[in-house]
A and B are shown apart, each in its own frame.
Chain A
Amino acid sequence: ETGVTQSPTHLIKTRGQQVTLRCSSQSGHNTVSWYQQALGQGPQFIFQYYREEENGRGNFPPRFSGLQFPNYSSELNVNALELDDSALYLCASSPGATNEKLFFGSGTQLSVL
């Protein structure tokens, strides 16, 4: 067990809708990262937060946004959903500012119809 929990485990949305995915990190883990994993691909880095501020972003459009809260929880928001957004979304946390030994949750499987 990694101590990182994600909710919901599965979600179905329609194109154009908005979605919020949630993650609860281990207590004391100040860094949280989000990844998108399409079927048959490796996880792709979306962005990273350290102490509630975004400090890194991958090649994803602005409709992907996030929040990190003082209680070690975080959110990934995706607006204007597209069919290609269908994927497994993974949250990962680590204690410090550097991404040593990421602890991953089991992910949220998002299907966009």
Chain B
Amino acid sequence: DAKTTQPPSMDCAEGRAANLPCNHSTISGNEYVYWYRQIHSQGPQYIIHGLKNNETNEMASLIITEDRKSSTLILPHATLRDTAVYYCIVLNTGNQFYFGTGTSLTVIP
């Protein structure tokens, strides 16, 4: 199963873009990259996912490098409510999600 590596914590100023990196160097060609976030005491919330191409939705953008060994989640205008733990996950061939310890993002006023 492809493992992911994320920095344990990051800070971002309110209103600025938050760029959260993820390394997944052992990813296979047909494995998707998913991002979830978890606000304290709640269940994880789906943000975005992608395979090869960059993706954008109402919450965020996902940039996947051409070799697919890393990706970046971009929150374009971070708000205080974006403070959460962000998980980068590679969905394995058994279609089971394996979460790491994620990146704790703190948005600072």
By a beta-carbon cutoff of 8 Å, the part of chain A in contact with chain B is 2, 4, 33, 35, 40-45, 48, 56, 58, 90, 92, 97-107
Contact = CB atoms under 8 A, between A and B. Distances in A.
A35 B99 CA distance: 10
Q: Is the interface of B mostly helix, strand, loop or mixed?
A: loop
Contacts of A104: 43-45
A49 to B, nearest CB: 12
Contacts of A48: 96
A35 B46 CA distance: 15
A40 B96 CA distance: 21
Contacts of A33: 96-97
A106 B43 contact: yes
Contacts, number: 54
B45 A99 contact: no
A97 B95 contact: yes
B98 A98 contact: no
9 contacts: A45-B97, A92-B44, A99-B96, A101-B49, A102-B46, A104-B43, A105-B43, A106-B41, A107-B43
Interface in B72-109: 85, 87, 91, 94-102
Nearest to A41: B101
For B42, B49, B95, the residue with the greatest tally of chain A CB atoms inside 10 Å of its CB is: B95
Listed from nearest, the 10 A-B pairs whose CB atoms lie closest are A104-B43, A42-B99, A98-B95, A99-B95, A43-B99, A101-B46, A104-B44, A56-B96, A106-B43, A42-B101
Contacts of B94: 56
Contacts of A35: 99
A11 to B, nearest CB: 15
